[in-house]
Amino acid sequence: MEEALNVLDLMEAQGMEPEPSLICILLKSCGEAENLEFGKTIHSRIVGTDLEKDVYVVNNLINLYAKCGCLENARNVFDEMSNRNEVTWTSMISIYNHRGFLSEALKLYSLMKLESRVRPNAFTYSIALNICAKLRNLKMGVEIHEDVKDRCESDEFIVTALIDMYSKCGNIDSARRVFNKTGEPTIAACTAMIDGYNNNNQGKEAMDLIRRILQRLDMKVVRELGFTCLIRSCTMEAAYRQGQEIHAHIIKFGYDLSAQTLSALVLLYEQCNKMVLARRLFDKLVEKNERLWGQMILGYVKNGMNLEALKLYVEMVSEDVEPKSFALSCALKACVGVLGLKEGKEIQGRAVKVGCGFSDDSILAGLVMLYRQCGLPEEVQKITRIYKS
């Protein structure tokens, strides 16, 4: 960096202005290294020169400030530009998006559309649609869809972004219409459509689409789709056979099971009441989150295996996994099944300790049921009074 600065000093002393490409390279290097100090030095050297009017130089300057976390500086440079191209606008919109200023990003997109000299490109549209999806802004999303119809509606990134936007805004029918218009949907589009169905609680439709995909595509493509996405659909519909088929394919083709895929399979087998299979995979997981522990405990309870559920709860606590409301309420259901008063009181104490005691409806309901089953009406009255107070 110092050598580069010395070269700039030498050129300035000889009355030579550096090439825009050199300044762009230096600014890009500063951004990648997050070297704000050196980047500001370069910025000071181009103020008042023709380089300050070069759109490519200024675009790199904006990206430098953004990568160094100086959003206000980036916006100031943007506002001072007299000549902005689509890259300039798109970069600034993208910066706001990545930094979480979603409403500001959409305002900037609207301003861009008012500028007759510059039109959004496919990348700009896809970012704007992604922001609409995050904000659940269906109205703006539909407006953008109208804008792209005559320009780049068939672009693969636009297709995926449209499916995602409509799905997250709850308009799954429009998402499917976009999907159906593509002759050969990409892997990203298929994944977005399946996730859209899953997130809108339409597991049956997701399964129908998965069956079509499994019939048409080879396992390499299916793998790229994401096993977790496919298995999640099977779980929602308790589609044991289809889930088992996917699991069998994974084993047959020797794919390594990620922690995410293993967890998805555990949930599938638990949902389908195949607890032996669920436990076998559960034990293979090195790290298990609290929700998965709770789901396994619940699976045992649903299948009348209350002692196994309590053993698993004890194992969870012994591994220093702090049970929260869900896991505690599931363990209480197991206590009711075996009239485990001692265990139930221990769970009650832990629930109070972690801050989800009588204020949690599921914990309270479990305790009331347990004390009633154990013939302790005075305990029921006591915890009910505490809850009401």
Q: Which two three-digit tokens encode residue 357?
A: 């005691």
In terms of pTM, does the model score above 0.75? no
Lowest mean per-residue pLDDT among 97-106, 211-220, 235-244, 343-352: 211-220
Structure tokens at 192: 């977005």
Side-chain half-sphere exposure of 165, counting CA atoms within 13 A:
26
- The tokens describing 14, both together, are 């000889």
How do residues 216-246 score in pLDDT, each as one tens digit?
Answer: 655 555 666 667 777 877 787 777 777 887 7
Mean pLDDT of the chain: 87
Confidence at 67, pLDDT banded by 50, 70, 90: very high
What integer pLDDT is reported at residue 252 of this predicted model?
A: 73
pLDDT digit string, tens, across residues 24-52: 888 888 888 888 988 898 898 888 888 88
Predicted pLDDT at 58: 92
The percentage of residues in the chain with a pLDDT greater than 70, rounded to a whole number, is 90
For residue 216, the model assigns a pLDDT of 66
Residue 2's pLDDT is: 60
- At residue 224, the pLDDT reads 61
Categorize the per-residue pLDDT at 14 as very low, low, confident or very high, splitting at 50, 70 and 90: low
pLDDT at 256 over 80: no
Q: Whole-angstrom Cα distance, residue 162 to residue 166? A: 6
pLDDT band at 318 (very low <50, low <70, confident <90, very high): very high
What integer is the mean pLDDT of 254-271? 82
The mean pLDDT value for 92-102 works out to 95
Which pLDDT value is given to residue 45?
A: 82
In the predicted structure, residue 371 carries a pLDDT above the cut 60 = yes
Q: Which residue has the higher pLDDT, 20 or 282?
A: 282
92-117 average pLDDT score: 92
DSSP 290-355: HHHHHHHHHHHHHTT-HHHHHHHHHHHHHTT----HHHHHHHHHHHHHHT-HHHHHHHHHHHHHTT
pLDDT for 328 equals 94
**To which residue do tokens 């409403």 refer?**
103
Q: What is the mean pLDDT of residues 266-274?
A: 89
Going by pLDDT thresholds of 50, 70 and 90, the confidence category of residue 211 is confident
Burial of 147 (0-12, 13-18, 19+ CB in 10 A): middle
CATH architecture of 84-200: Alpha Horseshoe (1.25)
**What does R_g of the chain's alpha carbons equal in angstroms?**
29
Mean pLDDT of 270-296: 91
